[in-house]
Amino acid sequence: MSGEEASGGLPETAAEHTGPDTEEREVVAGRPRKGMFGVTGTGDTSGYGGLRLPAYVPPAAERPFGGWFDEVADGLFEGMHNRGVPPEAVLRITVDRDEITFYVDPEHLVEICRIFRDEQRLRFEFCSSVSGVDYGPEVPRRLHSVYHLTSMTYRRRIRVEVAVDAEDPRVPSVVEVYPTADFQEREAWDMFGIVYEGHPGLTRILMPDDWHGHPQRKDYPLGGIPVEYQGAEVPPPDQRRSYT
């Protein structure tokens, strides 16, 4: 039996990289979620009741993934083989809550997106969203850039995700493949500080041009809001009075 047959259609080296990652290749992050104000025992899920939830990390999926997920994975790895993209560029595949996510090496992100768009078996023509995620200072490779791709031909949706260090958060821009990513990459840069190299105009889109820092990073100070007409200040959320 060949390596491809043993792995359910994937090249042998590709199958090796869709299982649990070694520590240095870990790309799936998780961190405990907690609320504010120190309130306990309320069952509140709004984020303001002191709720504590454990970190959740989707496990690496194994073949068969189920449904049309296997067809998409086979189409991706076939396209990668035809274009000379190494199978190791796909670091992990997860299936969680009936959604499939491909975690990829940032170096090969643009070519993988081009494969998802152009391969006849895939035809993910539309990038509906690019979003940033920060899992917090205690998580290695804490910044993630997440791409939601839609196939209007086959009526399917997938996620592609990359992870980078906060100290050097560089990801190649996919605007040349998906023009709809233009403003969304600008927003992820503005809010999370992810540098999309090759973007045609990576400037702030929500905050003023002279703003310092990236407000949606977990270590960004919450601060207070000056109320000029009263000379007062609204305290940071974790210092505000609880009304429960």
3 state DSSP class of 232: strand
List, in order of start, the domains of the chain with CATH numbers: 3-219 (3.30.460.80)
Kindly report the pTM of this predicted structure.
0.78
What pLDDT does residue 34 have? 61
- Identify the bridge partners of residue 131 per DSSP, sorted by sequence position: 146
What pLDDT does residue 14 have? 47
What pLDDT does residue 241 have? 64
At a CB cut-off of 8 Å and minimum separation 6, what does 185 contact?
Answer: 130, 173, 174, 175, 194, 196, 199, 202
Token pair recorded at residue 220? 């960004």
What pLDDT does residue 140 have? 87
What pLDDT does residue 45 have? 47
User: DSSP character for 186?
Assistant: H
Residue 64: cis peptide before it, omega within 30 degrees of 0: yes
Taking only the tens of pLDDT, the chain with its 244 residues reads: 444 444 444 544 444 445 444 444 567 677 666 655 555 555 554 545 555 666 778 899 999 999 999 999 999 999 999 999 999 999 999 999 999 999 999 999 999 999 999 999 999 999 999 999 998 888 889 999 999 999 999 999 999 999 999 999 999 999 999 999 999 999 999 999 999 999 999 999 999 999 999 999 988 887 777 666 667 777 776 666 655 5
Asked whether 115 and 85 are in contact (CB, 8 A), the reply is yes
